[in-house]
Structure 1
Amino acid sequence: MSYFVSFSRFLLWSILAAFAGLGTLAAALYLYLTPGLPDAEQLKHTQLQVPLRVYTSDQKLVAEYGEKRRTPIHIENVPEQFKNAFIAAEDNQFYEHQGVSIKGLIRASLELVSTGSIQSGGSTITMQVAKNFFLSRERTFTRKFNEILLALQIEQELTKDEILELYFNKIYFGNRAYGIEAAAQAYYGKSIQELTLGQMAMIAGLPKAPSSYNPLANASRALIRRDWILGRMHKLHFISSEDYNEAIKQPITASYHGATPEVEAPYLAEMARKYMTDSYGEAAYEDGYKVTLTVNSTLQQAAQSAVRAGLESYDRRHGYRGPIATINEIETKSTSAILSNLNTIPTIEALIPGAVLKVSDDIAEILLKNSQTGIIKIAESKWASPYLSVNSKGATPNTITDIVKPGDVIYTQISPEQTEENNNDETKTAIYLKLAQLPQAQSALISIRPFDGAVQALVGGYSFYQSKYNRATQAKRQPGSNFKPFIYLSALENGATAATLINDAPIVFDDDKLESIWRPENSSGKFLGETRLRKALYQSKNLVSIRLLQDLGIKTALSYVARFGFDTNALPHDLSLALGSGTLTPWDIASGYAILANGGYKVKPYFIDRIENANEEILFESTPELACMPCTPEKLAPYSLLHKFTPTPEAFSLALSSPEVEDNTTPAQEIIPTTSQSIHESEIQTPMYDIPSAQRITDPRATYILHDIMKDVITRGTGRRALTLKRSDIAGKTGTTNDQKDAWFSGFNTELATSVWVGFDQPETLGRREYGAAAALPIWIDYMRIALAGTQEHHLSQPHGLSTVRINPKTGKRAQANDTNAIFEIFRTENTPELDSTKPIPSHQEGENTIEITPEEIF
């Protein structure tokens, strides 16, 4: 008996000693590890790695940049059953423990003793937060002790909901998805609020092993894990038996959903990305910045579609260049072997590679890269005459066999047309395809709001994924006649009028500044003799432009065009300047036309409206200089810009001294402009808002006259195709360079200025008759048809100091009362012509109301 008592005492003291030893060890570890632990308080200010996102002005996603795909979400926006799914899967005692689960740790210890390796780890959600935010993923006892200590600290600093929110936003789910919202988007293309119970459980099963339980990589294991979680939810009374039985019957519906842009603007997105990395460095990719562009999604999509359609149309006009590859003996190849060949050829935008399987006179059967089959009909392939050269093509094909043969690999486009065919009592839908080819020519379009310079749409080429070269901002090309309006405006400000006569006749220059004797011509080979400036511009007469520049003076012209921001170093310092032989980008040209469109105010194009951080705080907001005098709230209202500007101190003083004025609704008064134009003292009033006004750089009267002339380009000149828009407020100018290497059209009303360029990246001829009116203007029309749809006509307001008088169209002088051929012309009052002393001769040769259409000139 005494032996038993002695042994019992020994055992008791041994146990106490063991606990004391463990306590001492724990205390020692605590004292050793605690000084090196991070402060859990940091979690309240943690910055999650969130990708850079770029949006249009109407909040459509353009692009996302960053290795980690994450969309932070607040805990109150997480569905209750989503929380329950994770608690059932990871930590069913989450709301009871203080950061550490004793049961979990004991279970993990027993697994370690019995198996010799760490199995579950016994981690709670709080411990996982500690590990994910502060610790490495190495499996060591030291890291586990640190995890436990940090979990205890976290529970002291944060609420359970705050801990859960951190967990939901940090945890990795595979496929670059971090956080539950990103996971829902990656696997189901939906927000977490839209998921079914089964889908919630599927996502809740991923954190344990994102690769092993991934429904895309291992569907069977993912299904077992999901059903186990649903069973746990049922056992814990989170869901009813009915909900459980319904959820486990749901099939796997997960599929990969990338961060799909809602609108195509890849060139603009790249411009925004570069701006952000230049400004914020690598942090731009992970600090959750949001960039809002100035572009509108509808206009941007219209621009992208117009450029592609225009280039494809140009390409078809010049014939079919043949297959892009050939699969020999295709009849003996298996479908998988054919698809293997097709997979080496990229799909570019809507152009899908396909292999010709069979042909008959009327149709060709095609196997597409996406495994679908379809048919091409001869009726839609008549354009595919063989390409011989840029200026010639072969005979029009009569059958499909004239175009393709089995084994040809071609580009196709899916036609919206489909048909149902009945074959042996089976009805099937045939996919109709269109024969296509990748255009070799390129294009750029840039559209600017003249009021403040906001870019409304920008396209830098046929496909960003084919070529990242942004032709809208990087391609320096000759603008040709697109540059003439700036020379003409300079002349109008320096004494010339729309009725000034200049001789349209052959001319030869032997100038030391030119490489050889220069004999500029009109492409038609015709000369009109004495020609009014108005007619010379809308018919794009080269020889008149040269003589006009000669009279004006090259230095005067260069000094004038420099006001528009053109780099005069990139422009010739000789008479070829009149023909647009310098090099400018489409961005440069569109910027200049925006100034013409707004009446002469120097607005600066910009494409970023604002930048926000991850907390939705505005870091940058554009405050452009505006083309308005005065800039009143009424003028700003259509553009939603007033919120960007603050009332002046004078406005506050006025509001305080005027009780009857509420909410600062007194209209803003005129801002004193920084221009050389004189303003009557009575017009100068106290500004009510700090609104930066753009500087006026042109005479408003000369600009108004130029507007009127450029409207004639549309009604009776080289831009007459634009009459299809049925608007009287549009003006513009075509442009074609020597040998049709560059084709342009720039056009505008006061609300929108758009420039289009077409050409090859390595300058070569676009072909005969591929003038600006043929190659570039159709793209401009397709875009502007949508951009102007539903909008009122906007004409430039007529300034003071203009006179409209009847003139003799032959002499340019004021017509006599009995002159039946007289036409109306607009003049600056001081330039009104003197009365014509010659006797009027009845004639109908001029007929200003008669439509005159001439080919586009060489430049």
Structure 2
Amino acid sequence: MQLLSIFLLVKNLLVGLGRPLYRLLRIIGIGIIGLARILFKFLVRVRKIRFRINFKFGWFRKKISIPRATVVLVPLILVLSAGFLMINQMIEKLPDVNMIYLPPVMSSRITDRNGEILYKFYINENRSWTPLEQIPQSLVWATLAIEDKNFYNHHGFSVKGILTAIIYNLKNGKDGSLHGGSTITQQLVKNVFLDNRKTWDRKFKELMLSVLVEERMTKDEILERYFNQVSYGGETYGVEEAAFKIFGKHVWEITMSETAFLAGLPAAPSSYSPYGPNKELAFARQRKVLDEMVTAGYISKELAEKTKSTTLDIKEENTNILAPHFVFYVKEILENQGFSNFERQGLRITTSLDLEVQKMAERIVREETDKVANLHIGNGAALVIDVKNGDILAMVGSKDYNVKEIDGKYNVTTALRQPGSSIKPINYYLALERGLTMSTLIDDSPVSYVIKGQKPYSPQNYNGKYMGRVTLRTALASSLNVPSVKLLAENGVDRMIDLGTKMGIGSWGDKNRFGLSLALGSGEVKMTELAGAYSIFANLGEMVDLDPILKIENYLGETVYEKRVSSKEVLDPRYSFLINDALSDNEARTPIFGSNSKLVIDGKTVAVKTGTTNNLRDNWCIGWTPSYLVSAWVGNNDNSSMSWVASGVSGATPIWNRIMREMLDDKDNEKWGVPMGIDKDNICGKYQYYVVGTEGSIKCKMSVSPKPTEI
């Protein structure tokens, strides 16, 4: 194999020297072979003729005869052997030329569902792979014209280019470095195998590798790899990223003027950068490229002059990240799923995010939190979900990612926060499951629970008032605290934790940490967890996992992952329906919130629940339809308390209301289908739904609530 490599190297070096010189060397070679034959015949005839050497060492004297053939052949063999060993050693020290087939380090891009780029992850080199057939012919012409006119005719190197470079460097290379003379193949080899040191040793390696690469690859394969490997300035590598950065286009969309500009960059990316101090050099280089294209016969002089007069629209350098909290949320998911070092693999990750919805949600969070800054509310967050497939359409982790004063990089949607009363639907579901109905009466009156080793626990309603006997429907819709605690005392704290865990709340953990205050949201949850849990209510008992990734493709465009939506029933659809029905009943929440609160979306059926923690550190509003769920939060990342007037209606609800209105604006009202086993009748003076079979228990009587006792 090594002999073959040496043979191919020598052959291509000779072929690469050009036809005239090749013919001359061929004639010289034939002459040498002829002389060798004559010499051989002569040596055969005179093989008995010997050289006699008088050898004297001290007293020892001897005449030694050496055959004439030995005198000629031994030095020749030694020279050839030394040459072979030298070339062999050089080849052994070369990198494995087969590495040329390995894909380069490529950036991975995260896009929204419509292909809008949110961010590119990369390490040092921002590169995307583009097949040669997608690269405009004009860019190929421009590159060949300015970089390597003889590309399709040489064998890896240009004798003229090398001689020109040698003459230049002998005159100007006082530092011992070598400049210029590289073909496209040599530039590719340098990018793949070698460093940027401009030394004679590196140049020689570059030459040898170029010849070997030309033996293994077609010209088009070399050209494709060149366009995807070469630097176009800074961390931008490859024509696709260069076109996107400078012109905001895919490479296959660029014009003749833009192709000439790009083709001029690789020779000196920093000097010709459109973002550097010498921008005029970049445009002068573009004009030179066009002139070279005329010289090479690729375009007419008229077209070149017309193209020169075209104004280029250079995009401003933009390193912004869109939907940053969401992007890093997806990054974490990728890493957890085994896509380690994905920043180097050239992945194209299509996510569920809708950038237009995201921008709308960001704007609303920012505007509404600014309105209530006087209530000592410094931050806000929001989450928008398509409940049918688990798509995250928007994720706003803070009102401004880049503001240090509010710790803007902190993602509230994935952080543990106390949910306050927004957790109550889980508790009420348990009550329905054990046989109570939405018409069951419960006493909203003061109560105190004596817990061993602790002070008595005496829950209070948010407004400090009590309503007496109320239905579970009213207690849930109006978010009364005391009835919720009484229900949990009946349901059991352990059962509520078990149900929450079943619904996807994985942050509660050790049951021993919680008591009856869990009914009012003392157990911290993530917004993503709560949104996923309440999506089950929206889906009438069916759980669809939140999955923000729709598709992952490798750098060749091959799909390596595609989302498959699946669901499983984790809740009874009848009880889920009743929870939705109560939380979308504006009449049932009127006693506390009034009839015209921002919990109402005119003409739409929406279940909604607010929540405020006792310490006023967290304020929530979460609501859903059969299609969408919107969750909103306001508070402070430093956990400082808001003003006492900051309630569910004045804090997070305006954010929720505006986002939900935007989501439903152009859509018909959507109601939940009535599940099997649910009927409707006049119950206790109100026409409402109930679970078939519970009619006998509906007597508008008080639920048996535990008396104040020792627990």
TM-score, normalised via structure 2 length? 0.80
Residues in 1 aligned to 2:81 and 2:309: alpha-carbon distance in whole angstroms? 54
Corresponding residue for residue 127 of structure 1: 186
Corresponding residue for residue 574 of structure 2: 701
Secondary structure, aligned partner of 2:649: helix
Residues in 2 aligned to 1:256 and 1:835: alpha-carbon distance in whole angstroms? 69
* Higher mean C-alpha deviation, range 716-725 or range 152-161: 716-725
Secondary structure, aligned partner of 1:237: coil
Counterpart check, 1:237 vs 2:297: yes
Residues in 2 aligned to 1:823 and 1:700: alpha-carbon distance in whole angstroms? 22
Query: In the TM superposition, what are the counterparts of 1:659-808 in structure 2 within 5 Å?
Result: 694=568, 696-713=569-586, 716-717=589-590, 718=593, 720-722=596-598, 725-808=601-684
Cα deviations by residue, 1:351-398 (Å, 9 ceiling, x for unpaired): xxxxxxxxxxxxxxxxxxxxxxxxxxxxxxxxxxxxxxx5xxxxxxxx
Residues in 2 aligned to 1:113 and 1:471: alpha-carbon distance in whole angstroms? 64
Query: In the TM superposition, what are the counterparts of 1:519-534 in structure 2 within 5 Å?
Result: 519-534=458-473
Query: In the TM superposition, what are the counterparts of 1:389-400 in structure 2 within 5 Å?
Result: 390=376
Query: In the TM superposition, what are the counterparts of 1:65-84 in structure 2 within 5 Å?
Result: 65-66=121-122, 67-84=124-141
Corresponding residue for residue 677 of structure 1: none
Matching residue within 397, 404, 427 for 1:487: 427
Counterpart check, 1:297 vs 2:355: yes
Query: In the TM superposition, what are the counterparts of 1:598-617 in structure 2 within 5 Å?
Result: 598-617=539-558
1:95/1:160 contact within 8 Å kept? yes
Distance 1:533 1:200, change over 3 A: same
Residues in 1 aligned to 2:247 and 2:615: alpha-carbon distance in whole angstroms? 54
Q: Residue 603 of structure 1 aligns to which amino acid in structure 2?
A: V
Matching residue within 260, 266, 273 for 2:331: 273
Report the Cα offset of residue 503 of structure 1. 1.3
Report the Cα offset of residue 100 of structure 1. 1.9
Distance 1:442 1:144, change over 3 A: same
* Higher mean C-alpha deviation, range 31-40 or range 297-306: 31-40
Residues in 1 aligned to 2:223 and 2:181: alpha-carbon distance in whole angstroms? 17
Matching residue within 489, 504, 508 for 1:565: 504
Corresponding residue for residue 66 of structure 2: none
Distance 1:220 1:697, change over 3 A: closer
Q: Which has the higher contact order (CA 8 A, sep 6+)?
A: 2
Corresponding residue for residue 226 of structure 1: 286
Counterpart check, 1:578 vs 2:519: yes
Higher helix content, 1 or 2: 2
Residues in 1 aligned to 2:697 and 2:428: alpha-carbon distance in whole angstroms? 22
Distance 1:27 1:108, change over 3 A: farther
Q: Residue 89 of structure 1 aligns to which amino acid in structure 2?
A: I
Corresponding residue for residue 48 of structure 1: 104
Query: In the TM superposition, what are the counterparts of 1:790-829 in structure 2 within 5 Å?
Result: 790-808=666-684, 822-829=685-692
Distance 1:106 1:825, change over 3 A: closer
Cα deviations by residue, 1:629-674 (Å, 9 ceiling, x for unpaired): xxxxxxxxxxxxxxxxxxxxxxxxxxxxxxxxxxxxxxxxxxxxxx
1:307/1:462 contact within 8 Å kept? yes
- Identity between Structure 1 and Structure 2 (%): 30
Distance 1:568 1:245, change over 3 A: closer
Corresponding residue for residue 8 of structure 2: none
Corresponding residue for residue 168 of structure 1: 227
Residues in 2 aligned to 1:22 and 1:138: alpha-carbon distance in whole angstroms? 32
Counterpart check, 1:442 vs 2:359: no
1:803/1:829 contact within 8 Å kept? yes
Residues in 2 aligned to 1:281 and 1:807: alpha-carbon distance in whole angstroms? 56
2:234/2:270 contact within 8 Å kept? no
1:175/1:186 contact within 8 Å kept? no
2:107/2:345 contact within 8 Å kept? yes
Larger Rg over CA atoms: 2
Q: Residue 295 of structure 1 aligns to which amino acid in structure 2?
A: L
2:233/2:270 contact within 8 Å kept? yes
Q: Residue 239 of structure 1 aligns to which amino acid in structure 2?
A: I
Report the Cα offset of residue 777 of structure 1. 1.2
Cα deviations by residue, 1:706-739 (Å, 9 ceiling, x for unpaired): 2211111587433853465323421111112225
Corresponding residue for residue 71 of structure 2: none
2:478/2:588 contact within 8 Å kept? no
Secondary structure, aligned partner of 1:492: helix
Aligned residues: 617
Report the Cα offset of residue 233 of structure 1. 2.2
Residues in 2 aligned to 1:257 and 1:804: alpha-carbon distance in whole angstroms? 62
Q: Residue 618 of structure 2 aligns to which amino acid in structure 1?
A: D
Q: Residue 675 of structure 2 aligns to which amino acid in structure 1?
A: P
Cα RMSD of the aligned pairs, angstroms, is: 3.1
* Higher mean C-alpha deviation, range 55-64 or range 760-769: 760-769
Corresponding residue for residue 108 of structure 1: 165
Report the Cα offset of residue 115 of structure 1. 3.9
Report the Cα offset of residue 168 of structure 1. 1.2
Residues in 1 aligned to 2:234 and 2:356: alpha-carbon distance in whole angstroms? 31
Residues in 2 aligned to 1:280 and 1:699: alpha-carbon distance in whole angstroms? 35
* Higher mean C-alpha deviation, range 584-593 or range 559-568: 559-568
Report the Cα offset of residue 771 of structure 1. 0.8
Q: Residue 462 of structure 1 aligns to which amino acid in structure 2?
A: K
1:185/1:257 contact within 8 Å kept? no
Residues in 1 aligned to 2:617 and 2:291: alpha-carbon distance in whole angstroms? 71
Residues in 2 aligned to 1:607 and 1:568: alpha-carbon distance in whole angstroms? 24
Q: Residue 536 of structure 1 aligns to which amino acid in structure 2?
A: A
Secondary structure, aligned partner of 2:693: helix
Residues in 2 aligned to 1:251 and 1:199: alpha-carbon distance in whole angstroms? 10
Q: Residue 157 of structure 1 aligns to which amino acid in structure 2?
A: R
Report the Cα offset of residue 473 of structure 1. 0.7
Secondary structure, aligned partner of 1:200: helix
Distance 1:114 1:554, change over 3 A: closer
1:482/1:744 contact within 8 Å kept? yes
Residues in 2 aligned to 1:51 and 1:540: alpha-carbon distance in whole angstroms? 49
Distance 1:31 1:763, change over 3 A: closer
**Gaps in structure 2 of 5+ consecutive residues:** 1-27, 34-75, 702-711
1:267/1:468 contact within 8 Å kept? yes
Secondary structure, aligned partner of 1:269: helix
Q: Residue 579 of structure 1 aligns to which amino acid in structure 2?
A: L
Counterpart check, 1:62 vs 2:2: no
1:73/1:169 contact within 8 Å kept? yes
Secondary structure, aligned partner of 2:470: strand
Report the Cα offset of residue 624 of structure 1. 4.3
Secondary structure, aligned partner of 2:163: helix
Report the Cα offset of residue 764 of structure 1. 3.2
